[in-house]
Structure 1
Amino acid sequence: MADSIATSDAPSSSFQSTPPSRIICRVCQKQFSQYTCPRCNTRYCSLHCYKSHSLRCTESFMRENVVDELQQLRPDDETKQKMLDILKRFHSEEEMDDMDEDGWQISFDDLSAEEKKRFQRAVASGELSKLIEPWEPWWFRPSARTICLSREGTPLVQPLAKQETNASVLDDPETDQLNDIPPGPESPLLPVSKLSTNEPSPLLALHLLDIIYSYCFALRLYNGDWQSDPTGSAMVVLSMSSVLGQGGQPETVSEALSHCLQQTCSPAFRHMGGLQFGLGLVDDVVTLLLLSGSALICLLCDLRCLIQASERELKSKKSQKSKRVEIKSKLKLAERKIYFIMCWVHEQPGDAWTSLAAIVKAEKASAMEFTGNRNKTPRMEKKMEAGVKALIEEV
């Protein structure tokens, strides 16, 4: 006891000369220490004091080790690249998930050979047409009969942008119909005399028939949505139109319609309905002619936009240079022809289209007389399709 009192009353320097077994516990400061911490060399007397001391010691030890480890983790270029690859894969997976949520888009080229055959059979049989909501051509809408263009050929009424209209206007059916009508030219149409020093050919009306038919065919083929595939739509127009695609110059109504009907009945487009479908397109031509010159200008303007959209799309696609140049050349020539005929239509009197529509109706009536009953056998229908050209020429 005396030793204990003497030790506690001794100055701090006495601890240096005291044996280790007689040193006071640095934690509780009440008992003699019997143990030493291997980490910090702190003297302690019991397990309780060790735990109290160890918490502080362990936290300090872990903190020092973490700091040392972080300082040593200096990533090299390879480590950085691996991390970038991981982030890219993660971002790609997120995009794939978004596509799955929005609906996966697949093209015809993504199908296998057998899937392509089944798809084509489904198209030819009309099975797929049951899944598509029928499209109402804009030239059948009541608003198509009231299209107004200025003396320069530009629209008198401009459709409002969606952000500039309130909900009640957007829900108006008449507004929806107006927006479905292709807008006219944004800038005034030039006089034909400024586009060419020569007098316009008297056969331009026949060229117009060829172009109208080709436009109607493309829109019905794409269910009114040529914007979904501008290049594909443009290729259909060039294939159907002898004027735009082949530099043809039909000299009679029969010749103009004959080429279009032959293309409609060709193996490439026969799945659309053959001759009967082609005769329906002739009705479309008549309807458009009877509307007005303003409707024809809107049609030609829409067709020109189609060609221009295809040109822009081709610029962004990587394809064989020679092939791309050839297609772009055809599109550019077609665009110029369309604009020239649009300016020519703008200068024609209104009654000119009524007379032309009557001639086309007579041609169609003669073709219907030849086909007779629509419920012909497939073999008879093929014979009729093969004889379309001879039939119309005789008429």
Structure 2
Amino acid sequence: MEKVIVAEANTSPSSSEPRIICRVCQKQFSQYTCPQCNSRYCSLQCYKRHSLRCTESFMRENVMEELKQVQPDDETKRKMVDILKRFHSEEEMNSEDDGGETMLSEEIIQKVLSGEEIKLEDLSPEEIKHFRRTIASGELSKLIEPWTPWWRKPSARSISLSPEGCQLVKPLDVQSSTVTISEIPVGPESPLQPLKQLMHGEPSPLLTVHVIDVLYSYCFTLRLYNGDWYSDPLSASTMAFSMSKVLGDVGRPETVTEALAACIEETCSPIYKQAGGFSFAIGLIDDVICLLSLGTHALICCLCDFQRLFQAGERMLKSENINKTERNKTTQKLRSAERKVYFLMCWVHEQPAETWSTLADFVKVEKASLSQLDLGGESLKAETKRMSKPNALIHEV
């Protein structure tokens, strides 16, 4: 096809190259080239008009290619932002005849199409609002490959730690601030301390209940982050606080029923209504049962992963632009949660192996009772209080 080239009359040496007229409208100088067919165009409207099949194919191929490469590492956030912009560009192209305005500005879309990096800060307040609304609606979930929890993989049944509760092989040349991502979370790098060095007297018998609360919070957080808390550990830590009564310092459940009921109630609260509600909460109890069934070494790796989350959250907090009072308050919460998780880790290490299979069976019984409720709000809270029996767990385990 013949290209129309027009040279400007007065050009400086730095701009002496000829300029090409837009192939679509034949009115404006072209500024962009289609990555799929190399056609020259001047604007978003002309890009849409030049070949709908071409644009749809290109956008879909790039979305799928990006999705295949997404891994929960330090680059995940940037890659996902790029995927989402491409997805929205495709959606706007498919609805070009609707006569409505595009969600993203032409400047942002052109940056995306040319391969430039896009940050959330580049979006206008209206674009950010629309973006968050799209996430909340679940519209983007079809682009994300379902995550299989590590505790449900066959390799989770063969976790081995040293007699001191630490890794059998220590990693070399790994900085403490670096988050290592693997199929199964690794255990502690150093031997766990004996409980007698961490406290005076005997540990509380309610620790068996508290570990249920903490495990549920861990599974909840990883499920909502699709296995990737590394991209935003500070927000993930905040989510864990809101779910766990023990880590959030808002309660001390005394029975398994009380602990699970509080977790279910929080999961079904309006703030997490998009997560899946009651059925999602019951599924999380299955996750807790699965972790308990894996035994001591898997539980230590789980708690160690949780500890690393709070450590990473504290590091991220240092770079946040917030007032000193709020920073100190959040730092104290993170450090308190980290200490509690470490203490639980040491306590788990010293418990007999049969403790966890017995506890898993007990949680199964409680799950069967709670599954029949399917009540909301105050009704669930009142019913579980009626079902709870003080010290019931202590007699069972």
**TM-score class, shorter:** 0.5 to 0.7
- Residue in structure 1 matching 2:120, options 83, 92, 106: 106
1:384 aligned residue:
376
- Residue in structure 2 matching 1:149, options 136, 158, 161: 161
2:105 aligned residue:
none
Give the root-mean-square deviation of aligned CA atoms.
Answer: 2.6
- Residue in structure 2 matching 1:131, options 125, 143, 151: 143
After TM superposition, give the deviation of residue 198 of structure 1 in Å.
2.5
User: Using the alignment, how far apart are the partners of 2:145 and 2:115 within structure 1?
Assistant: 23
After TM superposition, give the deviation of residue 197 of structure 1 in Å.
1.0
| Cα gap change, 1:266 to 1:110, in 2 (>3 Å) | farther
2:360 aligned residue:
357
Are residue 290 (structure 1) and residue 293 (structure 2) matched? yes
1:332 aligned residue:
335
User: Using the alignment, how far apart are the partners of 2:238 and 2:232 within structure 1?
Assistant: 10
| Cα gap change, 1:303 to 1:281, in 2 (>3 Å) | same
After TM superposition, give the deviation of residue 360 of structure 1 in Å.
1.0
After TM superposition, give the deviation of residue 268 of structure 1 in Å.
1.1
CA contact (8 A) 1:363 1:392 kept: no
After TM superposition, give the deviation of residue 355 of structure 1 in Å.
1.1
User: Using the alignment, how far apart are the partners of 2:192 and 2:150 within structure 1?
Assistant: 23
After TM superposition, give the deviation of residue 114 of structure 1 in Å.
7.4
Identify which range, 124-133 or 244-253, moves more after superposition: 124-133
After TM superposition, give the deviation of residue 314 of structure 1 in Å.
1.0
User: Using the alignment, how far apart are the partners of 1:151 and 1:269 within structure 2?
Assistant: 40
- Residue in structure 2 matching 1:245, options 234, 244, 248: 248
- Residue in structure 2 matching 1:205, options 184, 205, 208: 208
1:166 aligned residue:
none
| Cα gap change, 1:323 to 1:364, in 2 (>3 Å) | same
CA contact (8 A) 2:112 2:118 kept: no
CA contact (8 A) 1:264 1:274 kept: yes
2:385 aligned residue:
393
Query: Which has the larger share of helix?
Result: 1
User: Using the alignment, how far apart are the partners of 2:190 and 2:114 within structure 1?
Assistant: 43
What SS is found at the alignment partner of 1:367?
helix
Residue correspondence of structure 1 range 159-308 to structure 2 within 5 A: 179-308=182-311
| Cα gap change, 1:102 to 1:152, in 2 (>3 Å) | farther
CA contact (8 A) 1:123 1:271 kept: no
| Cα gap change, 1:238 to 1:329, in 2 (>3 Å) | same
Number of matched pairs: 272
Structure 1 unpaired stretches of 5+ = 1-95, 163-177, 372-382
Give CA-to-partner distance per residue, 1:367-389, whole Å, 9 cap, x none.
Answer: 22233xxxxxxxxxxx5354222
1:140 aligned residue:
152
| Cα gap change, 1:203 to 1:112, in 2 (>3 Å) | same
Residue correspondence of structure 1 range 16-27 to structure 2 within 5 A: none
After TM superposition, give the deviation of residue 120 of structure 1 in Å.
5.1
CA contact (8 A) 1:245 1:330 kept: yes
What SS is found at the alignment partner of 2:302?
helix
Give CA-to-partner distance per residue, 1:290-343, whole Å, 9 cap, x none.
Answer: 001111100110000000011111112221100000000111111111111100
